[in-house]
Amino acid sequence: MTEIVGESLARRLVAWGVHTVFGLPGDGINGLMDGFRRQREQLRFILVQHEEAAAFMATGYAKATGRLGVCAATSGPGAIHLLNGLYDAKLDHVPILALTGMQETSVLGTHYQQEVHLERLYADVAAYNVMVTNPQQMPGVVDLAVRNALAKRTVSHLTFPNDVQVADVGEDPYRHVGPGSPPATMATLALPPRARRGTVTPGLPRQSRNGCRCRPCCSGRSHCRAASPHLFAAIPYGYAGENVDVGPAWPAELCVDGAIMQALVNVAAMAGVAVAVVVGLYAVHRLAAVAADPLRAGPFLSGVRPEQHAVSRFHVRWYVLTMLFLAFDIEMLFMYPWALVVAQVGVKAVVEMFAFLAVLMAGVVYAWREGVLRWS
C-alpha cells in the first residue's frame, strides 16, 4: 500500500511525540482520517460532538500536559468552528497545531460548495499558516508548523485540499523550472547556536549537577524519574548546553514536584475557594429565606382553565414521521448536487428519490389524519 499524504502527516506527528488528535471527521478530511487510521497503533483519535470542542480540548490538553495539542476539522464551516478554541490557545500561549481540509485544487476559486479559503481566515490566529498544494512539501511543512507552535507557544495551521490528502506522498505532479528542492528536515527542535555549557539563555534553565535536563523544578533532585539524554529535548525552554542530542520529542518522563506540584496546589486552592463560596451563599439563603420549606401551591391557580396544547400530545407513533424527515434530510445531503447524481447514477437515482418521496408523503398524510398538524 502506497503512503499517502494523510499517512505521511500522521507518521510525522508520531515522530514529534504526538499520540492524541481531537477532532470531528468530515468528507473534507477523509484523506487525513485514513492516515490517522493507518497509524492507529501509535496515534489515537478522540471523537468530539462539535469542532469547537476539539479546539478547546486540544488547548486544555496542551495546558495540562505541556505537550503539543492537535485538533482536526473538515473544510468550510467545520474549520471555522475551531477558531474560538484556537484564539484561547493563542492568547494563553499554548502550542496548538490545527489541521483542516480544503476543497480539491481543481475547483478552488470557482465558488464551490462551502469553499472558504482557510489560509486567509487563519492569518490572524496562526503564526504558521500554510495550504499544502504539493505532496513534495511533506513532511517539511509539518516540521515547520510544529516548531513554530512549540518555539513560539502559539497556533500553527495546515490545510490540505482533498486531492492532495490522498495523493502519493512521493508524487511530483509539476515540472521544475528552477533549482529549488524541498529541504531535508528532522522532527526535532534546534537549540540556540551560541548557547554554552553553564550559561542560561533567557527562558532556558541550567543543567542540573546529576545531568537531569528537566525544568528547574527538579534540578539536582532525585524526583526526576529518568535522567534520559533525550528528556525534554524538544521542549523550547529545555536544556541550554552544547553538544546536545535532540532526539525523540516529548518522552513520558515528567517531573513530579516543583512547578507541577505548585500547579496542583493552585487548582486545589481554587476548588476550596469555590466550595467555600457555594457553602456561604447557601448559608445566607437559609438565614434570609421567608420560610424554611418551599411554599405549597397547586399547579393551576391562575383562574384560567388549563388546556392541552397540540405539541404536548406528541404520541409515540409520530416518532416515525420525525425519523422520515430526518432520513429525507440525510438523503438530500448524500444526493447533492442532484444533477450530478442523476448524471452519474442514472434512472436508478430518480426512481429511488421518488420512491422515498412517496413514503414520506404517506407519513405526512398519516400524521395529518392523526391531528399532529393541528394547533388547536
What CATH number did the domain enclosing 121 receive? 3.40.50.970
| Residue 98 within a domain | yes
User: Could you tell me if 156 and 197 lie in one domain?
Assistant: no
Torsion of CA 172, 133, 19, 23, to 10 degrees: -140
Partners of residue 155 on adjacent β-strands: 96, 126
Domain that holds residue 78: 5-165
pLDDT digits (tens, 9 = 90+) for 314-334: 555 566 667 777 777 776 776
Q: In what order do the strands lie in the sheet with 96-102?
A: 44-47, 20-23, 69-73, 96-102, 155-161, 126-131
Phi, then psi, of 21 in degrees rounded to 5: -125, 130
Residue carrying C-alpha cell 434512472: 347
d(CA 5, CA 216): 39
User: Could you tell me if 332 and 227 lie in one domain?
Assistant: no
User: Could you tell me if 159 and 216 lie in one domain?
Assistant: no
| Residue 278 within a domain | no
User: Could you tell me if 98 and 228 lie in one domain?
Assistant: no
DSSP symbol at 134: -
| Residue 280 within a domain | no
| Residue 88 within a domain | yes
Distances (CA, A) of 252 to 51, 205, 261, 284: 28, 20, 17, 48
User: Could you tell me if 217 and 90 lie in one domain?
Assistant: no
Model-level pTM greater than 0.75?
no
User: Could you tell me if 229 and 357 lie in one domain?
Assistant: no
The continuous run of DSSP H or E covering 60 comes out as helix 51-65
User: Could you tell me if 9 and 152 lie in one domain?
Assistant: yes
pLDDT tens sequence for the chain (376 residues):
789 999 999 999 999 999 999 999 998 999 999 999 999 999 999 999 999 999 999 999 999 998 999 999 999 999 999 999 999 999 999 999 999 999 998 888 888 888 899 999 999 999 999 999 999 999 899 999 999 999 999 999 999 999 999 999 888 888 777 767 777 777 777 544 444 344 433 333 333 333 344 444 443 333 343 333 333 333 333 333 333 333 444 444 444 446 677 778 888 888 999 999 999 988 888 888 766 665 555 555 555 555 555 555 555 556 666 777 777 777 677 666 777 778 888 888 888 888 878 887 887 787 777 666 665 4
User: Could you tell me if 203 and 132 lie in one domain?
Assistant: no
Please count the structural domains in the chain. Answer: 3
pLDDT digits (tens, 9 = 90+) for 213-228: 444 444 333 334 333 3
User: Could you tell me if 344 and 245 lie in one domain?
Assistant: no
